[in-house]
Amino acid sequence: MNYFNNYRCTRCGQEYEPDRVKYLCPVCSKDYQPGMPLPGILECVFDYARIAIAWQEFCIAFPSANPSQKIEELCELFSPLNKEYYPNLPVGNTPLICSQSLVGESLYLKFDGVNPSGSYKDRASNLVVAEAKRLGIKEIVTASTGNAAASLAALCAAAGIKAVIFAPAKAPPAKLVQIKIHKAELHLVEGTYDDAFAAALAYSATHECLNRNTAYHPFTIEGKKTGGLELYAQLGVVPDYIFVPTGDGVILCGIAKAFYDLKEAGIADRLPILVAAQSESSDAITSYWETGVYKDAAKPQTVADSISVKTPSAAHLALKVLKDTKGMGIRVSDEEILSAQKMLASRTGIFCEPSSAATLAAYFQAREHALIKDQAIVVLMLTGHGLKDINAVKFDD
Ligand SMILES: *Cc1c(COP(=O)(O)O)cnc(C)c1O
Ligand SMILES: [Zn+2]
């Protein structure tokens, strides 16, 4: 039993029955060309009235439910798939750490490096692999800067499904090792992540398989929603600000979707302010938010490989999310990222990827420019484990 009703196009609003469409809105995606942000991304629409009732019943039956129990319930109520399809490898329910040691006041750190493959991507892979199981599909393809591939490889291994990966040859070695040890089929692309994205689309157009390209399959956003649901269950309130490391913009959109859904079901009363933390060299979503005109990032080259994207696939939806939540984009330099990474590791015990440390660097900028209200509840999404890219770390001595 679940409460998933329909897909809805985030551009034209047209609704589609599940199983009648697979990826993008058939109308809005007509003139899609590789190398542009995806038009007509689909979102899942639920029966919010029935979810509201089910949540009320849960709260009455378990008045002293702990955060983990609430997470389990919320993730089940707002999932488009029944539990039975999920791979046998637990994903999510990651710790939320309240730290005073970074800036003197409380900052919440959501550490997703503890997921099975070490990143937030497991949330999306989990749901797409479950979908393949439901459909009886035996092969899943994806493009990746590294983490999505490592994640798909692991979850496919758990489910006995073949993973086919297109990744840039320059991906950090640990991520390539993850892909290989899980026995995924690896195609190294001489070029960028954006080239890999196009190669994976071409592959699924000619092979019997499911495509997990981020934002292209609607369940990537839907899977990445669970991190937002968890924040709500762990804090007991909607946080004021959530800083999200942003490349394609799908984690940003997924976290936003959690709060759109919670609000729609009358469970939460407002949206958090979402902040896209971007590398200054990979800032297409921030520029789009500033100018209202979409333009590719000129030269995406950053130590934070996971957020290195020229053409963010979810750019249009990410812009809507920043507007709806009165959010903003913030650019940070590699230097700021690496210093934030060290600060997190030495003061909180969390060793995260450079991409994830971009959130702390962006938070410092936001404070410096007085963009954060006093006493606000602020969450930084630390999306990946530092061991995935040890070559990024430089020591002065
Ligand atoms: C993919 C990834 C991101 C960025 O997510 P997008 O959906 O591309 O914006 C951030 N951090 C880590 C660790 C990632 O793997
Ligand atoms: Zn449409």
pLDDT per position as a tens digit, 129-161: 999 999 999 999 999 989 999 999 999 999 999
Q: Mean of the pLDDT values across residues 366-372?
A: 96
Find the residues whose C-beta lies inside 6 A of ligand 1: 119-121, 147, 214, 245-252, 306-307, 353, 355-356, 383-384
The whole-angstrom separation of Cα 395 and Cα 397 is: 6
Of all ligands present, the nearest one to the C-alpha of 32 is 2
Ranges of each domain in the chain = 96-118+219-392
Q: What CA–CA distance (Å, rounded) separates 249 from 314?
A: 5
Q: What is the pLDDT of residues 71-116, one digit of tens each?
A: 999 999 999 999 999 999 999 999 999 999 998 889 999 999 999 9
Is the pLDDT assigned to residue 300 strictly greater than 90? no
Dihedrals phi, psi of 269, to nearest 5 degrees = -105, -5
Nearest CA to ligand 1 atom 13: 384
**What separation in Å is there between the alpha carbon of 53 and the centre of ligand 1?**
34
Q: Specify the fold of 96-118+219-392.
A: Rossmann fold (3.40.50)
Backbone angles phi, psi at 235, to 5 degrees: -90, -25
386 alpha carbon, distance to own chain's centre: 17
According to DSSP, the residues that pair with 187 across neighbouring strands are 166
Reported as a pLDDT band with limits 50, 70 and 90, residue 1 is confident
CA distance 92 to 203: 30
- What digits encode the pLDDT tens for the residues 58-71? 999 999 999 999 99
Question: How are beta strands 96-99 and 4-9 bridged, if at all?
Answer: unpaired
The rounded Å distance from CA 196 to ligand 1 centre is 16
> To which H or E segment does residue 122 belong?
helix 121-135
Q: Which residues contact 266 (CB under 8 A, 6 or more apart)?
A: 48, 52
Which residues have beta carbons under 5 A from ligand 2 (an ion)?
9, 11-12, 25, 27-28, 40
CA of 245 to the centre of ligand 1 (A): 6
- C-alpha to C-alpha distance for 183 and 149, rounded to whole angstroms: 11
| 276 CA closest ligand 1 atom index | 9
